[in-house]
Amino acid sequence: MSKKIHKRDAEASKQLIITHAIELFSQKGYASASMDELAERCGLNKAMVFYYFKNKKGLYEAVMREVLEEIQRTIIEENKTHKKPEAELEGFIRTYAKFACAHPYLPSLLLKELSDSGAVIPDMLFTSMRQLFALFNDILKRGEEKGCFHDPIPMILYFMILGTLNLMITTKPLRIKAAKLGDIEIDTCDQCDIDDIADYVIKKMKLMLKECE
């Protein structure tokens, strides 16, 4: 009698689980995300989660892999054509900003993992972050060689960009709420959209790397 029978499409089910898991993990964090709730959100049996993924950690890894690989792919893809380091740097920032805004789970997942040096998925986070950073590092190095970037410490600048963009995205609700409280003096940028923010970061980044000391 009207049992919710499911699609019997492995790939679809797996993707369904990952999709909801991304959302759930980013909302609640690893520890607070419950497999029960995940299954319910997916509309399928809890055991299916374990059928497709070894265990909770395995699922989380799959989720992070998906997310991290996608942002990396996107950045590489969208910045193939740039010739000049300035344009490359600008591309990097803008692409990351756009992606993170379109997939707001990314900043949340990333900050959580980074905030304890990858407690849950040390190795993968590690590898993935390294690749993304290597990309950024290259841009700066090339710029330095060409003489257009000065005094860069790539590691710090990298976290400066990621930190700014990620925090501006994850704190958006907080900032909107603060704005509503009406303290006229304080501008929490609650109306800024991500492009404005990216523009500002890019502008400031260029200042930082200019030769003027």
Partner DNA sequence: CATGAATGAGAGTTCATTCAT
Partner DNA sequence: AATGAATGAACTCTCATTCAT
Interface contacts to DNA, rule CB under 7 A:
3-10, 13, 33-37, 44-48, 50-51, 55-57
Is the dihedral angle over the CA atoms 126, 127, 132, 133 positive or is it negative? positive
In the list DNA, its own copies, none, the entry touching 34 (Cβ below 5 to 8 angstroms by class) is DNA
Residue 45 beta carbon to DNA: minimum distance, rounded to whole angstroms: 3
164 binding its own copies? (CB under 8 A)? yes
Size of the site for its own copies (CB under 8 A): 60
Residue 72 in the binding site for its own copies (CB under 8 A): no
User: Distance between CA atoms of 117 and 156, rounded to whole angstroms?
Assistant: 16
Q: How far apart are CA 69 and CA 165, in angstroms?
A: 19
Task: State yes or no: residue 197 binds its own copies (CB under 8 A).
Answer: yes
| Rounded distance between C-alpha atoms, residue 190 and residue 178, angstroms | 8
Minimal distance in Å, beta carbon 117 to DNA? 21
Amino acid letter at 177? Answer: K
Residues 171-190 that bind its own copies (CB under 8 A): 171-175, 177-178, 185-189
**Cβ-Cβ contacts under 8 Å for 204 (sequence gap 6 or more):** none
Q: Give least dist CB 37 to DNA, A.
A: 6
Closest distance to its own copies from the beta carbon of 109 (Å): 8
* Dihedral angle, C-alpha 195, 200, 204, 205, nearest 10 °: -10
